[in-house]
Structure 1
């Protein structure tokens, strides 16, 4: 089972002074608070999809219904957003897509921990130098997939062809092919790990719903599979109500302790157990012999009257009287 690839974001950064941006102020000046709300709703939609959102008649009608604003007012507001460069004009007019340079930059920062991120070449507004730092990024065309970066990603780039450059490009292509092969093998390994985790989850916890699958995928990106399995076993033993959250807390704790293997985890557990045992050793206190003994006063024994009379008689006889 291949792990699902998440495209959009669960949340996005929103500057506290966004209303001070000139572009936002222009929208609000013309359309009032409704215009501001439309912009925020559009950003929510875009980041939920990823880094762009199509803006066809279907999307317009659905968006109008969801935000309960007249579709004509929405389209006038969107056109003004394009006019004031809140959204990129060329991409909007060519492909009917809402996006911007800033949106794409924030998106790439947010998905930096993902194993693989795909972006469409035709919608891409960032410069080649800006995106080369993202090793998990793959750029593809709408019609033809592109497996590696090249200078053609930036339509404004001009390439001077020479023998020396052709030689460099040949070596670059060979290196990229090796990288692609390594990436392919790495992805296959990750998919196998994902299959192990999902199988364990389904057999011991419950059905695998989409958002759980995404969470498990994030775990595999950040932690060894043997530690994930061990953490789930401990969550089951503890009968945790939210097992995924419980597992995440365990994994983060192990990562903070720089524990990378199951042997290291077990060794850390043993050290903790030994330390706890030493603290529980009872202190032995010497008790003096006299502790607990109570001195009892001597009580004279009362004699029986018959015994006293008999003793007196014998005394008289002995004395000859």
Structure 2
């Protein structure tokens, strides 16, 4: 089965002086604290989804219900946010999507270590020069021909790209095609590896619910597959109640120890076993030279010892002492 891919973030950076930003101050000046709260709630929603959020009538109604604010007030605030460039105007008007250049930049920085991140070409505001450093990106189109490649990723840069030489554009397109093919092969390999992980969980632990699938996907994005399988085996051996949590704690511990491969883990386990089997330092008493010899010296004992004579001798000594008294 194909692995569920985590798109959003668990948390996002929020500057302590965000209320000093001119755009935020404009929203707060018109809409008060409610406007500020709406912006923060929208950012939470966007980063939870990824780097953009759809804003159709359905989303508007649900958002209004969740934050308990009148939908008209929310839409007035949204319109002002678009007017003051908190959200990109062209994307909002053409696709009913809330996003911005800054949101996309922070998102890509946050997911830089994931194995694959999918970006919708029509919503992308960053220049090709800005995103080419991220090798894990897979750019897709929402148009019918999703395999077509458009080097003019940012609609705002069409004039700039149209002025480039044809040879340079063709070279860029070739590079994009090669990169896309490599990305597809990597994705197929990753899906096979994740299928092994899912199959192991199903056969040895239990049903693969959507929540479990997402947790496994998060592990897969951050740890080698062979280590995840090994950690799951240890969770089974320990008969852990929450095997996913137990597995994740093992993986984090290995990562903190800089154990990157299964061989590293086995070597660390062997070192730990050896340390347990090695006896502790104890004081060693010197052994006499004669120890263990058959003819070691013994204390001399009298050959003839007359008990009666010795008793009589003692009695005479006691009698003599009594007479003197």
TM-score (norm 1): 0.79
Query: Residues 223, 62 of structure 1: CA spacing in aligned structure 2 closer, same or farther, 3 A cutoff?
Result: closer
Deviation per CA, 1:198-225, whole angstroms, max 9, x where unpaired? 1222222222222322222232333332
Is contact 1:23-1:86 (8 Å) kept?
yes
1:57 is the counterpart of 2:34: no
**Equivalence for 1:76:** 76
Is contact 1:148-1:176 (8 Å) kept?
no
Higher deviation after alignment, 229-238 or 254-263: 254-263
**Equivalence for 1:101:** 101
1:2, distance to aligned residue in structure 2 (A): 0.8
1:279, distance to aligned residue in structure 2 (A): 4.4
Query: Residues 145, 136 of structure 1: CA spacing in aligned structure 2 closer, same or farther, 3 A cutoff?
Result: farther
Is contact 2:151-2:172 (8 Å) kept?
no
Number of residue-to-residue matches in the alignment:
291
**Equivalence for 1:319:** none
Deviation per CA, 1:129-181, whole angstroms, max 9, x where unpaired? 1111111112222214555875321332334575xx53x65555555444333
Distance 1:259 1:15 in 2: 34
Query: Residues 174, 99 of structure 1: CA spacing in aligned structure 2 closer, same or farther, 3 A cutoff?
Result: closer
Deviation per CA, 1:28-50, whole angstroms, max 9, x where unpaired? 11111111111111111212222
Is contact 1:138-1:147 (8 Å) kept?
no
Query: Residues 149, 129 of structure 1: CA spacing in aligned structure 2 closer, same or farther, 3 A cutoff?
Result: farther
Structure 1 residues 174-185: aligned runs within 5 Å: 174-185=174-185
**Equivalence for 1:19:** 19
Query: Residues 158, 228 of structure 1: CA spacing in aligned structure 2 closer, same or farther, 3 A cutoff?
Result: closer
SS at match of 1:139: strand
Is contact 1:193-1:220 (8 Å) kept?
no
Distance 2:35 2:200 in 1: 49
Deviation per CA, 1:90-133, whole angstroms, max 9, x where unpaired? 22122222111111111111221222222222222112211111
SS at match of 2:208: coil
Distance 2:47 2:273 in 1: 47
Distance 1:127 1:181 in 2: 21
Distance 1:47 1:113 in 2: 17
Query: Residues 115, 238 of structure 1: CA spacing in aligned structure 2 closer, same or farther, 3 A cutoff?
Result: same
CA-atom RMSD in angstroms:
2.9
Distance 2:60 2:161 in 1: 38
Distance 1:41 1:150 in 2: 34
Distance 2:82 2:227 in 1: 49
Query: Residues 83, 99 of structure 1: CA spacing in aligned structure 2 closer, same or farther, 3 A cutoff?
Result: same
Q: Mark the runs of 5 or more structure 1 residues left unpaired by the alignment.
A: 289-301, 309-321
SS at match of 1:3: coil
